[in-house]
Structure 1
Amino acid sequence: MHVLNRVTLTKLVTCSVLSIALLSACKSTKSEHQQYTELQRSFSYEAYSGVSDTSVDTIAYGYKTLQKERLKQVGEIEPTLTHAMMSYILSMGLSNDFAIAESDLALAKAIDIRGKYLAYSAQSLAFYNKGWRKMAKQKADFIRTDPLFKTVSQSYPKEQLISYLIIGSVAVRDGDLATVQNMFYVIGEQIEKPWLPSLAKAITVTLNGSMLESLVMLKDISTDPSLNAYEQAKISELIGIAGSKLSDKNKRQQITRITDDFFLDRIKDNSVSLYRDLITNLQKYTDQVL
């Protein structure tokens, strides 16, 4: 794996902080698209993208070369997939700007309809997490309604659960309950967590509907006898937030943050070793560049 030296890392992080501050100062008067264009032209975006373009691809090709026999069963690990995975990981409170950069790289690497569907999903998710809801919804509407993508969403190898997670997470934010149910049903079935689609539906209701209704749904999920101690604790944490005196906006933000991490954690712990190792390596990579 390509590793940045400490000097480059310090410059990248410093420039990132300055760029974020400058973008934040003027975002109130500029459209989402203008902010996006400025982000793409910023030094931190270009520097990060230049590094990731090589480093994350190296990780992907390393798995593709070394794991040929296992890849016959679970599908190839391509740059589009790894950049989309990186985008998801970075969106979990690490860097929304770099998450967008990764989603852009995922789209640039996409070579077929399935790759483009995943990349557009990663872009939509990154835009939602950045707060660019108009652009995020445009992407979500595009992949949901364009005839080209009609049958793509469930065409990924069943073991590539991160693809289902990214697509499902966009649907959660977009209020698309049908896609939420389909994506998280596959995940729940593969990792033997039958309550997962119900949790995803509850979070969808949290973000797009009634907080009271989602609280009732979460309490119902908490009674599932198949939950282990860790899962029970996480569901209880979500119930505590949903029933707290926080504003609905703060409740939604905290619940989204917790569930994004929780969903990835469940996938990581219960996936085939190939994908578990890949997620771990990508998480280690973020420690080097942030």
Structure 2
Amino acid sequence: MVIKGFLLQVVWFFLIVSSSSYASVESEQKKYDKLQDKWLYKSYYKLSKKTIKGITKVYNLQADETKQVNSSNTHALLAFMWSMGVNKKFAIADSSLANKNADSIKEQYIAQTVLTIAMYNRGWTELAKDMTQKSQHNPEFSGLSEKFHKEQLFANLMIGSLAIREGDLKVTQEAFNKIALATDKPWLPSLAKTATLAANGSILDAIANTKTLLADPTLTAYEREQLEQLKEKLTKDGSTGESMDIAQLVDRLIFDSIKTESNQAYQQLISQLSDYIENVS
């Protein structure tokens, strides 16, 4: 009887948790729908749709035929740039445009990935988790995270960035190992692991990892400065639910560290998107 009563309590607990989670998803979905109806969101959506088409065309005129991109690729990159603590609403708008313009399953997957990152950054955690579960159960997306070449730096960065927020060490390591091989920056997987540890609540381990990273003699002055900031943030704020801020700091550091490894035309694309962000902000 005691065991039976205990089992009933366990079942009841999980029913309550499940019900609460479902209610949160519904609530956050309503907020998402409401955001898309706002004048500012709609105005930006129209502006970005038109402007990014032009920026993409200019890039393709300069790039090799094998390195051409479409509007979906550009919107996804821009959405990620917005997500690095710049503008959470516009990150969602460009993620949606990336999805709308996607021509392949891989492009849909990346668009869904950056949209989920934007949801996490917006604070819509349950909706983000729900989107991830739907992606994981989509047979067309099965195994896609492993199918991006190491040279596809920013696709791997987006995949790894989402994995950090979800505390998924396996996918984090896979994505950032590829980036490390392509950029000759062997410390990147350790940095990504540090952010993942912080997301999982292992703050002391994250701080210890950061101290080890700072001993790497190959770091640039900028990278060392950013890691010092990360260590300080972990020490001060790590235990107070600031994991999203930490993830964004790591995103910015890795983004800045790998953008110079891209081909010249792609660097110019990033520069144009940076100018666009500055003008719109």
**Structure 1 alignment gaps of length 5 or more:** 1-27
Deviation at 1:247, TM superposition (A): 6.0
2:145 is equivalent to residue 153 of structure 1: yes
Deviation at 1:49, TM superposition (A): 0.5
Q: Which residue of 2 aligns with 1:60?
A: 56
Tell me the distance in 2 between the aligned counterparts of 1:154 and 1:99. 24
- The one-letter amino acid paired with 2:78 is M
Deviation at 1:34, TM superposition (A): 0.5
2:41 is equivalent to residue 50 of structure 1: no
Tell me the distance in 1 between the aligned counterparts of 2:146 and 2:55. 25
- The one-letter amino acid paired with 1:139 is M
C-alpha change, 1:215 and 1:272, in structure 2 (3 Å) is same
Question: For 1:177, which of 169, 186, 192 is the aligned residue?
Answer: 169
Deviation at 1:159, TM superposition (A): 3.0
TM, length-normalised to structure 1: 0.83
C-alpha change, 1:138 and 1:251, in structure 2 (3 Å) is closer
Alignment partner of 1:243: what SS?
helix
Tell me the distance in 1 between the aligned counterparts of 2:255 and 2:229. 17
Deviates more, 1:145-154 or 1:78-87: 145-154
Tell me the distance in 2 between the aligned counterparts of 1:155 and 1:217. 28
- The one-letter amino acid paired with 2:276 is Y
Question: For 2:272, which of 260, 267, 281 is the aligned residue?
Answer: 281
- Give the 5 Å matches for 1:5-154: 31-67=27-63, 70-72=64-66, 75-154=67-146
Q: Which residue of 1 aligns with 2:221?
A: 229
Q: Number of paired residues? A: 257
Tell me the distance in 1 between the aligned counterparts of 2:279 and 2:173. 36
Q: 1:191·1:271 contact (CA, 8 Å) conserved in 2?
A: no
Tell me the distance in 1 between the aligned counterparts of 2:139 and 2:211. 39
C-alpha change, 1:157 and 1:59, in structure 2 (3 Å) is farther
Q: Which residue of 1 aligns with 2:14?
A: none
Moved over 6 A (4+): none
- The one-letter amino acid paired with 1:50 is K
- The one-letter amino acid paired with 1:35 is K
TM, length-normalised to structure 2: 0.85
Tell me the distance in 2 between the aligned counterparts of 1:100 and 1:31. 17
Q: Which residue of 2 aligns with 1:15?
A: none
2:267 is equivalent to residue 256 of structure 1: no
**Structure 2 alignment gaps of length 5 or more:** 1-23
Question: For 1:241, which of 217, 233, 244 is the aligned residue?
Answer: 233
- Give the 5 Å matches for 1:189-200: 189-200=181-192
2:260 is equivalent to residue 269 of structure 1: yes
C-alpha change, 1:230 and 1:247, in structure 2 (3 Å) is closer
Deviation at 1:62, TM superposition (A): 2.1
Q: 1:140·1:170 contact (CA, 8 Å) conserved in 2?
A: no
- The one-letter amino acid paired with 1:237 is Q
Q: 2:161·2:247 contact (CA, 8 Å) conserved in 1?
A: no
Deviation at 1:145, TM superposition (A): 4.2
Please, what is the CA RMSD of the aligned residues? Answer: 1.9
- The one-letter amino acid paired with 1:34 is K
Deviation at 1:142, TM superposition (A): 2.9
Deviates more, 1:134-143 or 1:97-106: 134-143
Deviation at 1:71, TM superposition (A): 3.6
- The one-letter amino acid paired with 2:251 is D
Q: 1:121·1:170 contact (CA, 8 Å) conserved in 2?
A: yes
1:229-279 superposed Cα distances (whole Å, 9 cap, x missing partner): 2222222221122223x3623643442232121111112122222221111
In our comparison, the structure showing a higher alpha carbon Rg is 2
- The one-letter amino acid paired with 2:239 is D
